[in-house]
């Protein structure tokens, strides 16, 4: 049946009392290999000119698959998802997110800067009352947005590299969110 008497030592980290996500800031940092870094840099150089499009596609996709995330954005909560790709505020936010991905890729050789960037971003998102469980949703949406543009070179290794990058980014972002008290 399991050991129900064993105490869960994970830190409860959440923005809302009724919605608790368990996250252990003491867990080992996700691994991103040198090979992952090389693959990410290679793919990113191909995508860089179209990052504004990728960002918008990522967010529209995210809102279609997870409407609760759309509702969390005060700036365009009332706008229909099908009209969002033309919304200037969404376009600006999407470009900022893609800029963050770019910064993370350029900081692969300086992991401390990457950690600081993502932890600070986590703190800002906590201050905006973003639910910690939303953080992990961005990576899969981003990957499914870029795959069609790269079908001629895309491999399982590319997919794994992007998954590893987003795991690392999300880990430090959530760590930042957990660093400040509710």
Query: What is the span of the domain harbouring residue 131?
Result: 31-178
Q: In the chain, how many domains are there?
A: 1
User: Mean pLDDT over residues 76-100, rounded?
Assistant: 90
User: For 48-66, what is each residue's pLDDT tens digit?
Assistant: 888 889 999 999 999 999 9
HSE-CB at 157 with a 13 A cutoff on CA atoms is 11
Cα distance between residue 16 and residue 101, in whole Å: 27
What is the predicted pLDDT for the residue at 76?
Answer: 82
Has residue 10 been placed in a domain?
A: no
Has residue 20 been placed in a domain?
A: no
Has residue 100 been placed in a domain?
A: yes
User: For 21-48, what is each residue's pLDDT tens digit?
Assistant: 567 777 889 999 999 999 999 999 999 8
Give the CATH number for residue 133: 1.10.490.10
pLDDT of residue 87 exceeding 70: yes
pTM: 0.86
Has residue 109 been placed in a domain?
A: yes
What is the predicted pLDDT for the residue at 182?
Answer: 63
84 phi, psi to nearest 5 deg: -65, -30
Has residue 58 been placed in a domain?
A: yes
């Amino acid at each position: 049946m399991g050991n129900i008497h064993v105490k869960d030592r994970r830190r409860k980290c959440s923005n809302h009392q009724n919605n608790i996500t368990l996250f252990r800031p003491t867990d080992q940092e996700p691994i991103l290999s040198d090979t992952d870094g090389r693959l990410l840099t290679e793919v990113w150089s191909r995508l860089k000119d179209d990052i504004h499009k990728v960002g918008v596609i990522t967010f529209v996709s995210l809102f279609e698959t997870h409407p609760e995330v759309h509702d969390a954005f005060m700036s365009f909560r009332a706008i229909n998802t099908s009209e969002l790709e033309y919304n200037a505020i969404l376009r600006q936010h999407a470009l900022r997110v893609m800029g963050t991905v770019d910064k993370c890729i350029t900081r692969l050789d300086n992991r401390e800067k990457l950690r600081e960037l993502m932890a600070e971003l986590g703190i800002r998102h906590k201050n905006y009352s973003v639910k910690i469980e939303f953080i992990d949703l961005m990576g899969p949406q981003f990957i499914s947005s870029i795959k069609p543009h790269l079908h001629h070179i895309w491999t399982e290794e590319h997919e794994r590299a992007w998954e590893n990058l987003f795991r690392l980014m999300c880990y430090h972002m959530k760590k930042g969110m957990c660093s400040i008290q509710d």
